[in-house]
Amino acid sequence: MFTHKKKLLVFIVSALVLTAGSCTRETNSTGNVPKSNITGKAFIIEGEVTIDGKSAETGDIIKDGDVISTSGDSYCEVTFLGGNIIRIYENSLMKISFSEAMISLERGTAAAVLRNISSLLKKETELFEVESGNVVAGIRGTSFFLTKEDADTTYFCLCNGSITVHDTNQTLEMPLTAIHHKAIRLRESRGSVSMSQAEMAYHTDEDMEHLAAQIGRKMDWTTVEK
């Protein structure tokens, strides 16, 4: 009887250990870390910046779905996955979602150099999305500058790379490829959106080169980055 109870106890303890191990190892069907567990880092913070309403400092972790807000004369640079950086300029509000592979700029200005987003995309046909106002850009890895000029107007510059831009109603679509800056402007009026070419504005080559250098990369203005 004692031997039987001992064997039963060993079985129960083993089962509990295995169960605990399976609970702590949260992976997806491919064995990779779920995208919702990917985090970023506040690489540089200047001035008054909040993450989900809490005062932020350089080095803070950016979690999936976090909302970053900057006040006047403030900015935040966020890095993630070792080869991507986003600069959120003053008076801006941006949400970053790793699980949905997207960033959403509600107000203000942002610039990015994205060179390592493949692990956020489930398949070859999936794109990383950048949303702001009436603009949606689908990208695989590129450099861009984006600003909401007012409630109805969004300026988007593809600094280098290839993207597809469309309005939120998906009534307009424009593929863009640029070696050295190609800008467009989207305006919404009376429920319809117009898309037009625009001059390069608000940023310089040096701005983008500095951003790329922060993650140890270079801007090559002689070829389309992939």
Beta strand extents in 133-181 (DSSP E only): 135-139, 143-150, 153-167, 173-178
- Provide the H-helix boundaries in the chain: 2-24, 205-214
**How do residues 129-160 score in pLDDT, each as one tens digit?**
999 988 899 988 899 999 999 999 999 999 99
Cα–Cα distance measured from residue 209 to residue 226, given in angstroms and rounded to the nearest whole number = 16
What mean pLDDT do residues 94-115 have? 95
Q: What is the mean pLDDT of the chain?
A: 85
* Residue 48 CA from chain centroid, whole number: 21
Give the confidence band of 113 by pLDDT, cuts at 50, 70, 90.
very high
Cα–Cα distance measured from residue 205 to residue 140, given in angstroms and rounded to the nearest whole number = 21
| Beta partners for residue 51, in sequence order | 54, 68
pLDDT score for 18 = 37
* Residue 45 CA from chain centroid, whole number: 17
What mean pLDDT do residues 3-14 have? 40
Does the pLDDT value for residue 13 go beyond 50? no
Nearest residue to 36 via CA among 143, 127, 119: 119
What mean pLDDT do residues 194-220 have? 96
**Ramachandran bin of 189, using left for φ above 0, alpha for ψ from -120 to 50, beta for the remaining angles:** beta
Does the pLDDT value for residue 198 go beyond 50? yes
Does the pLDDT value for residue 1 go beyond 50? no
